């Protein structure tokens, strides 16, 4: 559905929407004929909620397309994930809690190791500890070049977010990371004329960093990749007049939420319980809550079927705390599937539940892949869930006379 149509119909209301995203929720049976992780999990609260909900299977990007976390989230947030792609560098910066702005071009940075001839020996500098990485970032932060400001935010180990800020910087730039060892890092090239200034500045920065790090070991050089500017995604406030909050622990998800204008709340304690506590504490302040569960995806990517089952059961046990708040609309879904069988993100459509007083409930008292396949939402683009949530929250008026 067209974002602008929903925008044109948005009306104010006092209702509250909660979106619980279990990352990589969809799964597969380990053996043919078996049950998936979600079907295996004991989920009395989600099953009871399913009975009062409309169920379906969401397709984040397209049939057969395995989504990254960025497009997966944009889709369930209601955006066309192809139209509103967030570049890798921008995601990294947002994920590092960097306040990315419209004059910024970001990239993923690595500290790396080069030999005396400048040839790349280790793209990750032996995965130096995060603390060592922070010290190197401080060093690199001393670089000053006319024409732009430069920022480095340590992410983890050898990884950092790199940001150039200045007028007239394009982001159509090639990587310095050759994605292999035994060759020298590459110069940044502008793919479009509007990015030539940015290319010059990035190359000067890398050259300064090389000199500054020359005496360091093992991290004596940097690599930059995935240059991307500020994502131009219209916010929930702008589109629907929603005060939206994000409850997520990991930088990437906090970053995507920030890119769509959500207020990112701090979580004090161990997720997911602490995330539900944050939800309770902030319930009065916002109209829309996105709550992100990371463990389901981590277990899926580790091939840990039982761990993913446990992570789902942990969320199920917390669901009464959400329901006690009296939400008008609840969405439970994922940003993509991550079957333990595949040990990775996958293309499989994602079990999705839409609860409200005004949903025509399917009466299927089970939340699982095959149960959702029988649901009245059918197989639907993930981006179509949000307009239905808004409608159920009585936040969309009639189209046409």
* Range 67-96, binding a second copy (CB under 8 A): 67-72, 81-82, 85-86, 88, 91
What contacts 99, CB < 8 A, 6 or more positions away? none
Looking at residue 33, the DSSP 8-state letter turns out to be T
Of residues 36 and 113, the one with the C-beta less far from a second copy: 36
Measured distance CA(106)–CA(227) in Å, rounded: 5
Does 349 engage in binding with a second copy (CB under 8 A)?
A: yes
Of residues 116 and 360, the one with the C-beta less far from a second copy: 360
Nearest CA to 331 out of 311, 312, 309, 359 is that of 359
- The answer to whether 400 and 9 have CB atoms below 8 angstroms apart is no
Nearest CA to 242 out of 2, 9, 3, 15 is that of 15
Give the binding range for a second copy (CB under 8 A) out of 125-133, 169-177, 187-195, 369-377.
Answer: 369-377
Which x/- pattern, by CB under 8 A, does the window 183-222 give for a second copy? ----------------------------------------
Parallel, antiparallel, or unpaired: how do β-strands 350-356 and 329-333 relate? antiparallel
Parallel, antiparallel, or unpaired: how do β-strands 350-356 and 378-381 relate? unpaired
Among 32, 167, 182, 193, binds a second copy (CB under 8 A): 32
Does 179 engage in binding with a second copy (CB under 8 A)?
A: no
Binding residues with a second copy: total (CB under 8 A): 72
- 223-242 residues in contact with a second copy (CB under 8 A) are 226
Measured distance CA(260)–CA(90) in Å, rounded: 13
Give the binding range for a second copy (CB under 8 A) out of 24-32, 97-105, 145-153, 312-320.
Answer: 24-32
Distance of closest approach, residue 202 Cβ to a second copy, in angstroms: 20
Among 5, 119, 139, 214, binds a second copy (CB under 8 A): 5
- 34-53 residues in contact with a second copy (CB under 8 A) are 36, 52
Distance of closest approach, residue 376 Cβ to a second copy, in angstroms: 4
Q: In what order do the strands lie in the sheet with 378-381?
A: 263-265, 244-247, 288-293, 17-22, 329-333, 350-356, 53-59, 378-381
């Amino acid at each position: 559905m067209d974002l602008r149509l929903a925008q044109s119909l948005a009306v104010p209301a006092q209702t509250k929407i909660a979106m619980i995203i279990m990352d990589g929720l969809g799964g597969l049976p380990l053996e043919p004929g078996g049950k998936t992780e979600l079907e295996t999990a004991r989920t009395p609260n989600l099953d009871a909620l399913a009975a009062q909900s409309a169920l379906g299977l969401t397709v984040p990007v397209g049939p057969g397309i395995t989504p990254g976390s960025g497009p997966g989230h944009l889709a369930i947030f209601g955006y066309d994930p192809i139209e509103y792609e967030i570049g890798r560098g921008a995601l990294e910066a947002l994920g590092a809690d960097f306040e990315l702005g419209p004059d910024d071009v970001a990239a993923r940075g690595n500290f790396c190791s080069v030999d005396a001839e400048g040839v790349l020996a280790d793209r990750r500098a032996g995965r130096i500890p995060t603390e060592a990485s922070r010290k190197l970032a401080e060093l690199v932060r001393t670089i000053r070049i006319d024409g732009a400001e430069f920022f480095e935010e340590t992410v983890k180990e050898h990884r950092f977010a790199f940001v150039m800020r200045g007028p007239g910087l394009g982001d159509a730039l090639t990587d310095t990371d050759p994605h292999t060892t035994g060759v020298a890092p590459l110069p940044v090239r502008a793919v479009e004329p509007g990015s030539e200034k940015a290319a010059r500045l990035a190359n000067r920065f890398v050259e300064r960093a090389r000199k500054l790090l020359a005496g360091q070991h093992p991290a004596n050089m940097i690599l930059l990749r995935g240059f991307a500017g500020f994502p131009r995604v219209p916010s929930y406030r702008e589109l629907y007049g929603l005060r939206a909050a994000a409850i997520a622990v990991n930088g990437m998800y906090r970053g995507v939420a920030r890119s769509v204008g959500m207020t990112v709340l701090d979580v004090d304690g161990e997720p997911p319980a602490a995330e539900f506590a944050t939800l309770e504490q902030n319930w009065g302040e916002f109209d829309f809550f996105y709550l992100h569960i990371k463990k389901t995806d981590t277990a899926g990517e580790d091939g840990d079927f039982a761990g993913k089952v446990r992570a789902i059961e942990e969320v199920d046990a917390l669901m009464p705390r959400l329901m006690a708040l009296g939400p008008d609309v609840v969405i439970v879904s994922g940003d993509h599937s991550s079957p333990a069988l595949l040990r990775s993100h996958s293309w499989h459509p994602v079990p999705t539940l839409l609860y409200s007083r005004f949903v025509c409930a399917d009466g299927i008292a089970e939340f699982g892949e095959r149960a959702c396949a029988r649901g009245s939402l059918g197989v639907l683009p993930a981006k179509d869930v949000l307009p239905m949530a808004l409608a159920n929250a009585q936040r969309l008026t009639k189209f046409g006379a």
